[in-house]
Amino acid sequence: MNRRISTLHRLALKERVLINRQMRGLGVLNSEFHRIDEMRKKLSEMAGEHTHDSGEQVMSTFRIAAQLNHQIRDQLEMANNRCDHLAQELQTMRYRIAQADRRREKSTKKADALRARELNDRDAKREDAEASRRRSKLQ
C-alpha cells in the first residue's frame, strides 16, 4: 500500500512541476499578448489620425500617404490576428493548467484516502491484538 501512496504522491508532484512550468509559459504569453495589444492600439490610433490636408497637394503626396496608410492597415491586421491567436493560446493554456491541477488534486486526495485507510487498518489490527491479549490474560 505504501508503494501506491508513494506513487500517487510522486504523480501529484509531477503534476505540480508541470503546472509551474505552464504558469511560467502563461506569463510569457500574457506579456507577449499585452505587448502586441499595445502595438495594436497605437496602430489603430495612427490609422485614425491619418487624415488628408484640405489644401493643394501633389500626386506623389497622395501616393505616399496611401502607401503609408496601406502599410499601417496591414500591420494593424497582423496585430489583430496575432492578438486573437494569443488570446486563444492563453485560453488553451489556462484550460490545460486547470486540468493538471484537477489531476494533482485527485492524486493527492487518493493518496491521503489510502493513507487514512491504512492507518485505520493498522489501528484496528492493534486494537484486535490488544483485545485478544486482554482475553487471554483474563482466562
Where are the domains positioned within the chain?
2-49+75-138
Residue reference for cell 483474563: 138
What mean pLDDT do residues 118-134 have?
87
Rounded to whole angstroms, the Cα distance separating 45 from 26 reads: 28
User: What pLDDT, on a 0 to 100 scale, did the predictor assign at position 53?
Assistant: 60
Residue 112 has which C-alpha cell?
Answer: 491521503
**Cβ-contact 114, 1 below 8 angstroms:** yes
pLDDT in tens, 20-71: 999 999 999 999 999 999 999 998 888 887 666 666 667 788 788 888 889 9
Rounded to whole angstroms, the Cα distance separating 18 from 9 reads: 14
